[in-house]
Structure 1
Amino acid sequence: MKTCLVVDDSKVVRMVARKILEGLSFNIEEAEDGQVALDKCKAAMPDVVLLDWNMPVKNGLEFLIDLRALENVQQPVVVFCTTENDMAHIQQAISAGANEYIMKPFDSDIIESKFSQVGLL
């Protein structure tokens, strides 16, 4: 079973994502900011990271840059999931190593579609 790390400072968003992803047969880990997420990735790398942009401590982009800099690890698929929907943010995320981009609010169809596009389903 594949593992997804849901990284969002909103407990409600993490809960909704968990429900959707468990329905798609993923094991779920959660992190409330980018630093907690990076620590979890160093301990046990997930198959995919569903990543918010705006968080305290370490935001999503800072997390992604640090994650992609890790050496000798199997890099996960990273799907940004954020309200930041202008082209500048999207290009910045893709340039930093994001595989896909989902706009909030999201639903199960959107998650299933994006996860299929990146080969996770």
Structure 2
Amino acid sequence: MQRLMIADSSDVVRKVGKRILTELGFVVVEAGTAAEARSRCQSDLPALLIVDASLDGALDLIRGVRSMPNGKGVRIFYCVIEADLKKMMLGKRAGANDFLLKPFDRKILTSVFAGLAVAA
């Protein structure tokens, strides 16, 4: 099973995301802050990482993960509330691979992640 981390300050978003993604076959780890996410990544790097753009230190978290050994192999999804090109470009420059629009639901997470769970 692939390991996936959700870094989001919202307990509800993390809980809902974890429930859906666990059903898809991921081992899901949660982090409520960028510092917590970075610390968890240092001890056990996930295959996939969802980072909320509104999380304090989100861009530094992405850059930090990219600088870790094997950090270039992590697939990072930058989660934005609207298709804000400026914010998306900042995420891309920091090292995000892809984007998720928030709020996400079962349909969105399944369409994006179902194939990634099977690919493991």
Is the TM-score greater than 0.5? yes
Is 73-82 or 59-68 further displaced after alignment? 73-82
Deviations 1:11-62 (A, max 9, x none): 0000010011011011111100111101000000111011111124xx2111
Match of 1:108 in 2: 106
Q: Which has the higher contact order (CA 8 A, sep 6+)?
A: 2
Conservation of the 8 A alpha-carbon contact between 2:78 and 2:98:
yes
Q: Which amino acid aligns with 1:19?
A: R
Conservation of the 8 A alpha-carbon contact between 2:63 and 2:95:
yes
Number of residue equivalences: 117
1:73 to 63, 70, 74: 70
Is 45-54 or 105-114 further displaced after alignment? 105-114
Q: Structure 1 vs Structure 2: percent identity of aligned residues? A: 28
Aligned residues: CA RMSD: 1.7
Please give the alpha-carbon distance, in whole angstroms, between the structure 2 residues aligned to 1:116 and 1:26: 9
The question of 1:38 aligning with 2:35 is answered no
Unaligned runs of 5+ in 2: none
Paired residue secondary structure (1:22) = helix
Conservation of the 8 A alpha-carbon contact between 1:100 and 1:114:
no
The question of 1:49 aligning with 2:46 is answered no
- Return the offset for 1:89: 0.7
Q: Which amino acid aligns with 2:85?
A: M
Unaligned runs of 5+ in 1: none
Please give the alpha-carbon distance, in whole angstroms, between the structure 2 residues aligned to 1:40 and 1:6: 11
Match of 2:22 in 1: 22
Please give the alpha-carbon distance, in whole angstroms, between the structure 2 residues aligned to 1:50 and 1:111: 11
